[in-house]
Structure 1
Amino acid sequence: MYILGLGGSDHDVSSCLLKDDQILIAIEEERVTRKKYGFYSNLLFGHSRNYCLQNAGIQLDDVELVVADAILAPTASHAVRHRMHVLNHHLAHAASAFYPSPFEEAAILVVDNAGGLVSFNGKTGIETVTYAVGKGNEITVLDKVIGDQYGEADVSTAGKAYQLGDPNNSLGHFYKIISHYCGFDFLNNENFYFTEDGKTMGLAPYGTDRYYDQIRPFIHLLPDGGLRIDLHTGELQSLLEDLTREELTGEDEYRRKADIAWAGQKCQEDVMIHFANSLYEKTGLKNLCIAGGSGLNSVANGKILKQTPFENIFVQPAAGDNGTSIGCAMWGYYMLKGMPRTPNDRLRMDHAYLGRSYSDAEIEEALTQFPDLEFEVVESPAQAAAERIAAGQIIGWFQGGSEFGPRALGHRSILANPTLPHMKDEINHRVKFREGFRPFAPAVLEEAQSTYFDLDQVSPFMLIVCDVVPEHRATLPAITHVDGTARVQTVTKHGAPEFYELIDKLGAITGVPVVLNTSFNVKGEPIVETPHDAMRCFSGTNMDTLILSHYVVTKKGAALKGGE
């Protein structure tokens, strides 16, 4: 039995194909089209859908059930419009978080910019928060925060730029506005802007509380998990315009942006903790599942784990709109097909490596297209990588199927030695070509996590920020953020055997079983998918070595650190 889930909205379109009780393959549109977030992709072609079908060796007619997100762009579902089931956006998010989680029963929190137009408990509008409970294969919605759509509102501010669906009472939209005034627009035109909120989260620790008392009053935390943010008045936007009106340069401009980011991030944490505490009061459960774009705020996730009664959290690795394809497919399996959810269910996600693998023949074919590259085949790519990383090289690491979601988790990664103080700046400037304040994440063997990080649960998807143990901050300067924290990935032999082996061998050389891990891409591009993508990225940056499967690739004539 094949079930196809189609997810996304007007961005982050994705597809997920189940075969019986397992995820066979899943991919985001951006990885195939090479257009970040899927913007400017022709969705009528169904690139992600065809990727899944072709790699499964089936046709669309072989798919028994198609389930699509209700707010998915119509062009993305055009080919299946007459046979698909439509699932509410927040329910798709909830399903994407609960069904793959390790919990038999859990509270579910969905927080994003804007979901679907709904009516719930006498309220009608755009859903911005959903509280739910999952038990077995049932998901029960308890309550929602609803906002009024004001995309066409007459707002008295020159800086207005709202997309259709941007509502009041939306934490996601609030944070989007903060990111906009920090200058972190990915797209911006007269009618629409799309921000990269992870940059705001990364900049925030460099700021101060200078603007917090001015921004925080716009947020009203209401009883029973309610939220009111009157964004339609334009008053918040006017304040931010006033704060940024004066033309500044250099350090002064940087400090202003950092202080705005600090205030926005602190507000984000305040509200997410309010949501989590309210949900705990409603359910009394110890396990929490999180989805929606706000779930990618790993700093807030870490605060929830530390400051609320929840003992365990599971965040869908593709918490944004891309993850709803997983939710749609699993909803089809559990609810429309009525299949039981059991403790040993193969749909539980202990890894996110859902893309296809590439053969030696495909790697060698790609190599023929890059005459500036040369290669050798090695018996142990993990040993080859560990030796080079220990010697100070920056490595492109390409193994198995690609990760689903925005985090590289050791299959499409750039890796380096976290014990070298200069490595953060070196990768940002000569490889990633991105802002120097942005931090890098550590990947650590699960059995060593408590030695280096104050983290009481596993974090396989790099979605929880915690403190680096004080005595090891000097040990790990390249991954310790300015506030003493890190966004940790815990690695197991079962979940990521090749990556585990690499970190284990690196630890044997350096004495520290931790590697600096960042996504295999450059600023403005999606994470690489194919061997050709990897080689093109490698050729255009100052990485030292690229390792694809057993192939160790270098640039002809390049002088390598610690190289052979």
Structure 2
Amino acid sequence: MYTLGISALTHDTAAALLSPSGEVIAAFEESKLLRQRESTGIPRNAIQFCLQQAGIGWQELAGVAVAWRPLRAWMRQAWFRCKTLPLAPLASGYYQARLLGELGRELNNFRILRLLAGHGPVAGVDHQLAHAASAFFASPFERATVLTLDEQGDGFTGMIAVGEATRIRPLRRIAFPHSPAWVYTMVTDLLGFTRRRDEHKTQWLALQGEPHYRDVFLQLLGARRPDAPRLNRRYFRRGFTQRMAFSPAALAALDLDPKAPRLRDATHGSRIAASLQHACSELVLALAEAACRQTGIRQLCLAGGLFLNSPLVADLQERFGAEPVFVQPAAGNEGTALGAAWLHFYSSGTRSRAPAPASMALGPEFTDEAAKRVLDNCKARYRWLGTEAEKLEQTIRLLQAGKIVAWCQGRAEFGPRALGHRSLLASPWAPYVKENLNEYIKHREGFRPFALSVPAEAADRYFTSPGPNPWLTTLARIRPPHRERLQAFTLPGDRVRLHVVGRAANPLFHRLLQQFGEQAPAPLLVNTSFNLFGEPLVVTPRDAVRSFFCSGVDALVLGNFLLTKD
């Protein structure tokens, strides 16, 4: 019997399916299938995809696990608002009413899931425990310290736990509002970005500035207690209310007008971002060290939205030295679908540990017949590439000519990053490659870096990395002899976004890199996600063709079909 895991139904919903032996068959986000940036509620399309991938129906499920417990979450959140009632009665009343509405929706969603499952078992699991499971059971460790940190969760914003074989034992939980991720979200809003969506922009902007306000954020985050972070109430509004919960004292300390907090200029914004990034890194480093001392285990597993922050993860890996640190590639809410499934699967206590996924290509794939139907319907001109050798040869020819190539092969990636299945590729040595990607395709800020993909066998020749990096979860450093050659993709401190491609994880992309390197200065390609501005990663041939014709991409390799704009 199979196990279906569903993420918390509040945002970024996803589903994951385990085989009877515990191996991951499929996992995918609802938003990518809906072609939207956000999704809430039951991920019906993602569930349908998972079941179709295994060729089963609801009746063949041993259980359905959801990474949320509505009643317990409501009780924790409502109790917090009760405690703030004397400080902010009107706001607390508003939050209590909203929480009741959310509880009604969540309970109704569980009722619908039970109907879909034929009144079969639908169980809620602890949200932070699902985050912890998503990291530990995907890691190579038999024993590990597990740390989770996200924005608000289900009333708990983090957890320290111990993972052993097929069990996870919670040691300590961090309650809302004591959440560095929540502060990060508010600062993202303060900088003019979209909260809960553009936090990655804040992390990259941070690399452009000086940490002028670092001490302010250290005081605000309560960094004096690294083993139990507690926000300093002086820097927040009474009752932790309103969209921007910073107090006038906090805004004044950041050189902002408390009545109209607007940035003076771009330098001011980069200083605030850099200060927050430095303070968060110091706090999380101290918290991780304290957790490892408590458990006596140096292997560390990380999950939760805060650990989508690559510079933060790189700082952690450098601090822990040679000791391994594993980050769940889908560290956000979508990853809790995997965690919920694993928790349910191992709940009997009698199962042996299943192998961790070797690849994040867990989403839908397409056939050449499906791609041809789309191309013929669009009346697009295309070329059939009859062999793999011809496909690689034509792709390399385009890359050598300085073209930007959309590479759409195999199953789509689960998680927020493109890993060589739904990627835009370009030669790092093509003229104006960054400008062309930013201006004509991605339409994004110039301070956001592009990743470089490299075969695993060649990575040490050009880069030093504090840990393995097959999923773009951390940063590496460029070795001195290659700094000038790769200067356009270098971040402060000689850091670079690096995607290390293993032969087993993505054999076709691995061969493309190797063969490109035979005709180029190095086996490196610029790799960024294949999507239009404001849209999720492409999934189907229709998504790919539409994105190709609506952007400045020069060529599309769609399965065994080649489209160009010549």
User: Structure 1 length normalisation: TM-score?
Assistant: 0.86
Q: Which amino acid aligns with 1:179?
A: T
SS of the residue 1:368 aligns to: helix
Counterpart pick for 2:207 among 205, 224, 249:
205
2:217 is matched with 215
1:141 is matched with 170
Q: Which amino acid aligns with 2:345?
A: Y
CA contact (8 A) 1:288 1:310 kept: no
Is 1:236 matched up with 2:246? Answer: yes
In 2, the alpha carbon distance for the partners of 1:475 and 1:412 equals: 27
Could you give the per-residue CA deviations for residues 373-393 of structure 1, whole angstroms, max 9, x where no partner exists?
Answer: 433324232332222222211
1:162 is matched with none
C-alpha spacing 1:492/1:194, structure 2 compared with 1 (3 Å): closer
Identity %: 31
Is 1:269 matched up with 2:281? Answer: yes
1:562 is matched with none
Counterpart pick for 1:358 among 366, 369, 375:
366
SS of the residue 1:228 aligns to: coil
Is 1:539 matched up with 2:549? Answer: yes
Any gaps of 5 or more consecutive residues in structure 2?
71-104
2:97 is matched with none
SS of the residue 2:6 aligns to: strand
1:88 is matched with 126
**1:109-508 alignment runs, 5 A limit:** 109-116=147-154, 126-147=155-176, 168-185=177-194, 194-223=196-225, 225-229=227-231, 230=233, 231-233=236-238, 236-238=246-248, 239-240=250-251, 243-245=255-257, 253-308=265-320, 311-336=323-348, 338-341=350-353, 345-346=354-355, 348-379=356-387, 380=389, 381-420=391-430, 422-508=432-518
In 2, the alpha carbon distance for the partners of 1:432 and 1:299 equals: 22
C-alpha spacing 1:513/1:36, structure 2 compared with 1 (3 Å): same
Counterpart pick for 2:47 among 36, 46, 49:
49
Q: Which amino acid aligns with 2:508?
A: E
Worse-matched range after superposition: 234-243 or 65-74: 234-243
1:3 is matched with 3
SS of the residue 1:425 aligns to: helix
Any gaps of 5 or more consecutive residues in structure 1?
117-125, 148-167, 186-192, 559-564
Q: CA deviation at 1:482?
A: 4.3
In 2, the alpha carbon distance for the partners of 1:76 and 1:507 equals: 51
SS of the residue 1:30 aligns to: helix
SS of the residue 1:35 aligns to: coil
CA contact (8 A) 2:226 2:283 kept: no
2:101 is matched with none
SS of the residue 1:389 aligns to: helix
1:13 is matched with 13
In 2, the alpha carbon distance for the partners of 1:356 and 1:438 equals: 28
Worse-matched range after superposition: 259-268 or 235-244: 235-244
Q: CA deviation at 1:477?
A: 3.2
In 2, the alpha carbon distance for the partners of 1:36 and 1:266 equals: 29
In 2, the alpha carbon distance for the partners of 1:84 and 1:411 equals: 33
Could you give the per-residue CA deviations for residues 339-394 of structure 1, whole angstroms, max 9, x where no partner exists?
Answer: 111xxx33x02210101221111110111232354333242323322222222111
Q: CA deviation at 1:282?
A: 1.1
In 1, the alpha carbon distance for the partners of 2:279 and 2:338 equals: 30
CA contact (8 A) 1:179 1:195 kept: no
C-alpha spacing 1:419/1:358, structure 2 compared with 1 (3 Å): same
SS of the residue 1:225 aligns to: coil
Q: CA deviation at 1:424?
A: 1.7
In 2, the alpha carbon distance for the partners of 1:453 and 1:232 equals: 46
1:164 is matched with none
C-alpha spacing 1:478/1:537, structure 2 compared with 1 (3 Å): farther
Q: Which amino acid aligns with 1:368?
A: D
Could you give the per-residue CA deviations for residues 471-498 of structure 1, whole angstroms, max 9, x where no partner exists?
Answer: 2122223432244211221111111101
CA contact (8 A) 1:478 1:516 kept: no
In 2, the alpha carbon distance for the partners of 1:382 and 1:133 equals: 45
SS of the residue 1:31 aligns to: helix
Name the structure where strand makes up a greater proportion of residues. Answer: 1
In 1, the alpha carbon distance for the partners of 2:113 and 2:314 equals: 40
SS of the residue 2:487 aligns to: coil
Worse-matched range after superposition: 238-247 or 447-456: 238-247
SS of the residue 2:173 aligns to: strand
Q: CA deviation at 1:534?
A: 0.8
SS of the residue 2:18 aligns to: strand
**1:517-556 alignment runs, 5 A limit:** 517-555=527-565
In 2, the alpha carbon distance for the partners of 1:195 and 1:56 equals: 32
Q: CA deviation at 1:327?
A: 0.6
RMSD (CA atoms): 2.2
